[in-house]
Chain A
Amino acid sequence: MTVRLRPPRHRVDPRARRWWTAQALLTVSGPALLTAVALLVLALLFFAGALPWLAPLILGVLVLPAVGYLVAMPRLRHAVHAWELGDAAVYAASGWCWHRRRIAPLSRVQTVDTVRGPVQRRYGLATVTVTTASTAGDIRIAGLSEADAEELSRRIGHAAQAVPGDAA
């Protein structure tokens, strides 16, 4: 018989996939694709001779990774990201390539923050951050619906007060 750490019960909001796609477009894929287009246009205008080797290079180095990231990252994240508030601890899973599961007992919780970024707000999402005295114990649950986030941060706050703690 072995003991297994089961994944957290609750998935994040389905809208989070669209938010992650938007984020990918804004930070990684968008700039990479724009660079690729700019390079190709420049090559077409000024060094048409370089196209036979430049085009496959750009395709392999810029376009394919950018598109791959844009398609894969949100799906993988949505499959991994999850959270759960237990009787004595908060549990969250995150990541898409590297996975991370973190569990912090409520007795160690110091603060609970709810953050809504500009992009997140467009999709009606929020991030709940639970901090402990150790930076290696801080839990971030991203991609919750605003109602869920409010409810969760309220419940964590209540539970942390109910559990006798040693926050220091």
Chain B
Amino acid sequence: MSTRTARPVTTTGWRRLDRRTLLVHCGWLGAPLGSFALAALATGGRIGAAGWVTLGCLAVTFAAITAAGLARWARTDYRLTADSLDLRTGLLTRRLRTVPLHRVRTVDLTAPPLHRLLGVTVLRAGTAGSGDSGGELALEALSVRDAELLRSALLDRAAVPAPGTEPLLARIDWRWLRYAPLTFWVLGGVLAVAGGAYRALDGMGIEPWRLPFVQRAFTEFGASALWLTVPAALLGILALGSLGALGQYVEGWWNYRLEWADSRTLSVRRGLFTTRAVTIERDRLRGVVLREPLLLRAGGGGYAKAVAGGLGNREDNRRRSALMPPAPRATAVRVAAGALRSAFPEPESARHPRAALRRRRTRALLCVTLPGTLTFAVLGALLTPVLLHCAWVYALTSTPVALWLARDAYRSLGHGLYGRQLVVRSGTLSRDTVVLERAAVAAWTFSSSPFGRRAGLVTLTAAVAAGEDGYRIPDLSATTAPAFAAAAAPGIVDEFLERTP
């Protein structure tokens, strides 16, 4: 796939970023100008004082940012030497950052739409321990060719194909698209778009509720047969959301390829408008997570994520650790196994004490049944008896749901040791199976709540310098947890254990 060379690219002298960086800097103008134009359209060209002030501010900011961008571009340069990548920045205070090549763990090439139009891409190199201390080095705009060359130089290793494994782990299969409507984006996407539109209008001083056609629509809606129009509106939202989810799936996973670029690096490429290419070094890959959210699980799907270090902060990590889109569970398991380079171990389920089930039942009833019932009952007592009926109907219908969720959560619980790996499964709204390298566990935490202590339960957390940092094994039996921790990662808890007959 790549233009990987066997030897490092010849070292370069100091070089500037691509000239097109300056154009990229103007890209932020699009959103405010667009919303301004929309506002002008919606109000029929009558722009109030606030609008003119906004436009004036925009012009001033534009001038300032362009000047700053120009200065920054002129004062930023980078250099590749035999063993390090150097970056000089700063207008007055010059700063030189040197990143030794052997510290570079991951390289992320991202090209948002504007960058793609201009033929440039952003290169981010993550180094060891770049979790929070800002160890990441970003080059804002390189031509695609330069970026690829630089990447292969940064990650240059002996380009030997992985022995005994298929280099290509997965590529997009558009039959998987059927899983797109089973994701969060169906409702979340609609809400996000609505919220964004409202904020944009609000920013231009327009209150959407005041617009005549919105008001007319609402009065008509209120006057119609509600038992027909409310479900129709809900259906409409669902359909819109599904469309959005499909769009999001296509945008995110167009041209998706997951492969072992060589024996040491795993590479993920994807994206239609914004293309991303994430490269993860094998030594930093500490495990995988198989994630099955409730809806997706009901449809027989799931997806895998990498547990790797050096993928940036929490949010970056969430984006970059994606190994595949939602797909059939069997495919997800195959991809996870391919990334692990070993069989995917499924934990034995429900080896946790019954107290864990009781705990989940109580929690489900407290979180699902109680608040709704109470709200309806209090409102009913204050306002109208109809709501009192709603209260008992809600209590009756939500109790079985809550109990079912609790039972499912209990059955999802599981943990075990398989060879060099530690496997943990938990969760019902999102059932996550975490496979971690046992050697990667950096610390153990035993935590317990007052109720859990009385029931003999303890939650064990494995600290890992990768992914989400801490992985929980919820509600273990307090008597077996220490022995499990000692067996899973020897040499941590051993000296604090005490044998009692």
**Chain A interface residues (CB < 8 Å from chain B):** 1-6, 8, 84, 86-89, 91, 95, 97-105, 108, 132-137, 139, 168
Contact = CB atoms under 8 A, between A and B. Distances in A.
Contact of B446 (A5, A132, A136, A137): A5
A88 B491 CA distance: 8
Among all A-B residue pairs, the 7 with the closest Cβ atoms: A136-B470, A137-B443, A137-B463, A133-B465, A104-B443, A136-B463, A134-B463
Interface string B434-451: 000000001111111110
Nearest to B464: A134
8 contacts: A5-B496, A84-B496, A88-B491, A88-B492, A97-B449, A103-B444, A135-B463, A137-B463
Given A1-B501, A134-B463, A105 B492 contact: yes
Interface stretch (B126-134, B262-270, B358-366): B126-134
Q: Which interface residue of B453, B461, B493 has the most chain A CB atoms within 10 A? A: B493
B2 interface: no
B497 A3 contact: yes
Given A3-B486, A98-B447, A134-B463, A88 B495 contact: yes
Given A3-B499, A104-B492, A134-B469, 4 more contacts: A3-B500, A88-B492, A135-B463, A135-B469
Contacts of A6: 496-498
A102 B496 CA distance: 11
B445 A102 contact: yes
Given A4-B498, A89-B496, A168-B129, A108 B479 contact: no
Contacts of A95: 447
A104 B463 contact: yes
A3 B485 CA distance: 11
Q: Which interface residue of B442, B453, B462, B497 has the most chain A CB atoms within 10 A? A: B442
Interface in B354-403: none
Interface of B: 128-129, 131-132, 309, 442-450, 453, 461-466, 469-470, 479-483, 486, 491-493, 495-501
B448 A98 contact: yes
Nearest to A3: B483
Contacts of A133: 129, 131, 309, 442, 465
Contacts of B461: 136
Contacts of A100: 445-447
Contacts of B462: 136
Nearest to A130: B443
A103 B481 CA distance: 14
Contacts of A132: 442-443, 463, 465
B492 A87 contact: no
A3 B470 CA distance: 24
Given A100-B446, A137-B443, A105 B496 contact: no
A2 B479 contact: yes
Contacts of B309: 133
Given A86-B496, A133-B465, A108 B448 contact: no
B486 A136 contact: no
A44 B481 CA distance: 56
A1 B208 CA distance: 70
Nearest to B444: A103
A146 B128 CA distance: 34
A105 B449 contact: no
Contact of B443 (A2, A4, A98, A136): A136
A82 B353 CA distance: 28
A102 B444 contact: yes
Contacts of B498: 3-6
Contacts of A98: 447-450
A4 B493 contact: no
A108 B443 contact: yes
Nearest to B468: A136
Nearest to A104: B443
A101 B445 contact: yes
A97 to B, nearest CB: 6
Contact of A97 (B450, B481, B499): B450
Contact of A4 (B447, B464, B470, B500): B500
B388 to A, nearest CB: 24
A136 B445 contact: yes
A4 B482 contact: yes
Q: Which interface residue of B448, B470, B481, B496 has the most chain A CB atoms within 10 A? A: B496
B442 A134 contact: yes
A154 to B, nearest CB: 21
A84 B497 CA distance: 13
Contacts of A2: 479-480, 483, 499-500
A85 to B, nearest CB: 11
Given A104-B442, A133-B442, A168-B129, A1 B496 contact: no
A101 B460 CA distance: 10
Q: Which interface residue of A99, A102, A136, A139 has the most chain B CB atoms within 10 A? A: A136
Contact of B453 (A1, A86, A91, A99): A99
B493 A103 contact: yes
Contacts of B479: 2, 4
Contacts of A139: 443
Given A3-B482, A5-B482, A134-B463, A89 B446 contact: no
A135 B131 contact: yes
A97 B449 CA distance: 7
A115 to B, nearest CB: 18
Nearest to A168: B128
